[in-house]
């Protein structure tokens, strides 16, 4: 049981720090349009009423409900799965932070604040929450494929 507490702390800390970083960066870049690293990345503030690549634009209610369901599902997964893996904990914390960050925007503003623009490639403008969601999903995917259900000594700490 003590070992599980460590994993809950990891999830909680990553979630809190991730949401804080997302909210702070969104706040300080509101209305900004400036290069950060010339030719590489710029801060270009925009409102996104959809999901990634503006999919489901102007479907804020649907996306808000979906995001809320995702957050609740992740919390239930954490409660009932009783995490026993650092990899699972980090991935879950990152996905939870990203989902909460964008959910807060949808609830308060009716849209998500995006600001990170990659100047060297044609790619949608995104935010820190999107980065957290992406890396968290990759980590959770790795955990699901390689470690879920396995009783390896290294991953389960036994």
Q: Is 22 a catalytic residue?
A: no
Handedness of CA 119, 63, 60, 30 (dihedral sign): negative
- Does the annotation count 105 as an active-site position? no
Cα separation, 116 vs 40, in Å, equals: 11
CA distance 123 to 151: 40
Catalytic residue among 22, 58, 105, 114: 114
Rounded to whole angstroms, the Cα distance separating 122 from 103 reads 26
Q: Which of 22, 105, 119, 130 is an active site residue?
A: 130
Query: Residue 136: which of 48, 10, 5, 2 has the closest Cα?
Result: 10
Which residues are catalytically annotated?
Answer: 114, 130
């Amino acid at each position: 049981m003590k070992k599980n507490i460590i994993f809950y702390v990891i999830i909680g800390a990553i979630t809190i720090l991730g949401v804080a970083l997302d909210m702070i960066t969104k706040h300080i870049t509101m209305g900004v349009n400036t290069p950060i690293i010339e030719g590489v990345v710029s801060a270009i503030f925009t409102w996104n009423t959809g999901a990634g690549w503006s999919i489901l634009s102007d479907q804020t209610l649907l996306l808000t409900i979906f995001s809320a369901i995702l957050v609740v599902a992740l919390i239930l997964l954490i409660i009932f799965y009783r995490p026993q893996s650092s990899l699972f904990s980090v991935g879950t914390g990152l996905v939870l932070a990203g989902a909460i960050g964008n959910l807060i925007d949808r609830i308060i503003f009716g849209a998500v604040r995006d600001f990170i623009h990659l100047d060297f490639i044609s790619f949608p403008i995104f935010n820190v929450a999107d980065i957290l969601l992406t890396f968290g999903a990759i980590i959770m995917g790795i955990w699901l494929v390689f470690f879920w259900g396995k009783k390896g000594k290294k991953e389960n700490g036994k």
